[in-house]
Amino acid sequence: MGFRPISTYPISDLRADTFFLQETGTAFFLPGLLSDVSDVQAQAWRRMIIAADINVLPSPSIHFYAATNWFISRSTDVPANTEFVGALDAALRFDRSIEGGQNGYSGFSDNVSELTLINADGIYDSFAGALSVNGQPIKVSIGQTDDSGLVVAPYAMFAQVATFVGERYRVSRQALTIEMRDNSLPVVTETTQNNVYGGSGELDGPDALAGKRKPFLDGVVFNVTPTLVIPGELLYQLNDGALTSIDSVKDGGAALTLFQDYANVAALRAAGAALSIPRGFYGTSISDGYFLLGGAPAKQITADATGTHLKTADIITAILATVAGGPSLDTASFTRVNSIQPATVGYFLDSNATETCAETLTKLMTGIGGWWGIMPVGTLIIDVFTVPSSTQVLAFYNTQGGDMLDIDRTALPQSVDPPPHRRRVIYQRNYTVMTDIVGSVIETYPALADALRGPYQLATTSDARSNAVLAKYPSAPDPDPIESYFANQGDAQTEANRIFDLYSQGFSAFRFTLKNQVFVHQIGQVVNVTDSRLGLSGGKYLRLVSLSDDCATMQTEAIGFG
């Protein structure tokens, strides 16, 4: 790499057509870093320089700066008049993928990378054991030089292309290597249920609940087991917070009668202490997530309830709002998911659960055929995997002088190749499977009794569709039901048909390499590719499912589905 100094001159000395920022209205946008890629045009990084701003402990105010070539920032930059040591190895690679989910392409996109600084003359030897990068932000930016490579644009015009969080580093005679990941760590480590019972009595719960988590409920849920918080008062908690409604309280499957709702849990408890709530009835405090029985139950107590959010994206937004230090949200993607999948879902975690926010997000997004992940710039994005649309920004051609170096077919995920001949989707999850049901329920409401005995209801694609796939793929699998959280049959049926159609139309996966496109593209983006072979002569729309950006070669290896 070398430490050859690069001069810094006024930006007017640079060729205007080399700028990597483009003006749209009054704002500047960086290609590839917007969720709505239709707002930008394709631009390639050319004559680039990579810079890193690395925080270290014990003091978070300590920064050190490195770049692929030595330069000094200008007095108008932030930081001003600062040396960027030319020790940064350009071999920065950033990998993202949504391959391998239960539905084919779904779940969670994890991003892991390494950053290497050349330890020439032992300039980083003193780091060993003295400093820490754990949990500290590491920002990677790309700037522009002129055609000669000797003139560097102001650091203020560098574009931040990735934000990482340091995990650990190792120092050798040759290099300082920093292991990094995206900033999903708070989402990965924090639990969906923030608060625990202390076991000190009253609303803090009895000693038996000490250390257990307060229940989480959102959306529309069926037959959940509440937490008995004050046994002597028959006070139960359904959610650690407000609900929209408590739709039913059942004793052995038999519905009790609502007496009334109270303004808060204190008023509810006062009514119970005054014996105001008759036996066979229950009172609620919807604003606090509790209910109280008017008399001792005969069998198991369960409830149906509705939380304050109904759609998947809105439930996830509420969960992430409780994550301290979590990533910012790509709000456009949440709006888009609400539009694509507006179905009512329901999710419940009882006091024995220890699920992390990341696990909950993965389950909810997989349940609607979607995924979540962290964009290179550190923003959390969600999306539903759909058929590639005919609206795209970027087109690539595998021709001489084109941006695409090569293309070939690659394998589809095993879960969809050959395509399943049937799709089944879960709805109306029964969170408490029951065996001891009141006889009157079995006799009078046999459908309810059956629902209480089973773990869930199923929507399924038709036999006719199944037979059509089996005629072409005799060994087509019949996979397990998709772990979804739909409240209603119609929505589950729509999703079963959608997922079936998505993977039974003969789509393929293509692996291709793009030059000068690092950090320009995002998972889920649609591109159009053209090649003289592989049935691509007329161009084909592909949805990106895997990306590997390699700054050393300035190439991006991509996999697209379509």
Q: What is the mean pLDDT of the chain?
A: 85
Residue 360: predicted pLDDT:
97
Kindly indicate the confidence band of residue 149, based on its pLDDT and cuts at 50, 70 and 90.
Answer: low
Structure tokens at 247: 């739709």
List % helix, strand, coil for the chain (3-state, nearest 5).
Answer: 20, 35, 45
Given a cut of 80, whether residue 43 has pLDDT beyond it is no
Given a cut of 70, whether residue 518 has pLDDT beyond it is yes
pTM value? 0.85
Given a cut of 60, whether residue 561 has pLDDT beyond it is yes
Give the pLDDT mean for 116-137. Answer: 83
Give the pLDDT mean for 512-526. Answer: 85
Which amino acid is it at 559? I
Residue 89: predicted pLDDT:
84
Given a cut of 90, whether residue 133 has pLDDT beyond it is no
Give the separation between CA 354 and CA 359, rounded to whole angstroms.
Answer: 10
Q: What are the residue ranges of helices labelled H in 206-341?
A: 265-273, 312-320, 331-340
Task: Check residues 527 and 494 and name the one with the higher pLDDT.
Answer: 494
Given a cut of 60, whether residue 19 has pLDDT beyond it is no
Kindly indicate the confidence band of residue 400, based on its pLDDT and cuts at 50, 70 and 90.
Answer: low
Residue 355: predicted pLDDT:
96
Structure tokens at 270: 């006062």
Burial class, 292, CB count within 10 angstroms (exposed 0-12 / middle 13-18 / buried 19+): buried
Structure tokens at 393: 């920004």
Residue 256: predicted pLDDT:
97
Kindly indicate the confidence band of residue 161, based on its pLDDT and cuts at 50, 70 and 90.
Answer: confident
Residue 18: predicted pLDDT:
25
Residue 509: predicted pLDDT:
94
Given a cut of 80, whether residue 287 has pLDDT beyond it is yes
Give the separation between CA 401 and CA 448, rounded to whole angstroms.
Answer: 66
Give the pLDDT mean for 218-230. Answer: 98
Given a cut of 60, whether residue 38 has pLDDT beyond it is no
Lowest mean pLDDT among 213-217, 393-397, 431-435: 393-397
Residue 376: predicted pLDDT:
80
- Residue ranges per structural domain of the chain: 11-95+112-182, 394-412+507-561, 416-503
Given a cut of 60, whether residue 44 has pLDDT beyond it is no
Lowest mean pLDDT among 89-103, 168-182, 204-218: 89-103
**Does residue 30 sit in helix, strand or coil?**
coil
Task: Check residues 366 and 144 and name the one with the higher pLDDT.
Answer: 366
Residue 102: predicted pLDDT:
63
Given a cut of 80, whether residue 57 has pLDDT beyond it is no
Kindly indicate the confidence band of residue 25, based on its pLDDT and cuts at 50, 70 and 90.
Answer: very low
Beta strands in 375-443 (DSSP E): 380-384, 394-397, 404-410, 424-427
DSSP H/E element including 349 = strand 346-349
> pLDDT tens across 337-353, in order?
999 999 999 999 999 99
Give the pLDDT mean for 94-104. Answer: 77
CA dihedral 375, 379, 385, 390 (to 10 degrees): -80
Specify whether the backbone of 431 is left (phi greater than 0), alpha (psi in -120 to 50) or beta. alpha
Strand partners for 21: none
Give the pLDDT mean for 173-190. Answer: 86
Residue 147: predicted pLDDT:
67
Strand partners for 7: 151
Task: Check residues 139 and 9 and name the one with the higher pLDDT.
Answer: 139
Kindly indicate the confidence band of residue 34, based on its pLDDT and cuts at 50, 70 and 90.
Answer: very low
Task: Check residues 47 and 219 and name the one with the higher pLDDT.
Answer: 219
Given a cut of 60, whether residue 11 has pLDDT beyond it is no
What percent of the chain clears pLDDT 90, i.e. is strictly above it?
53
Given a cut of 70, whether residue 60 has pLDDT beyond it is no
Q: Which residue has the tokens 């395509």?
A: 419
CA dihedral 99, 103, 104, 107 (to 10 degrees): -10
Given a cut of 90, whether residue 392 has pLDDT beyond it is no
CA dihedral 465, 469, 475, 480 (to 10 degrees): -40
Lowest mean pLDDT among 100-104, 185-189, 503-507, 528-532: 100-104
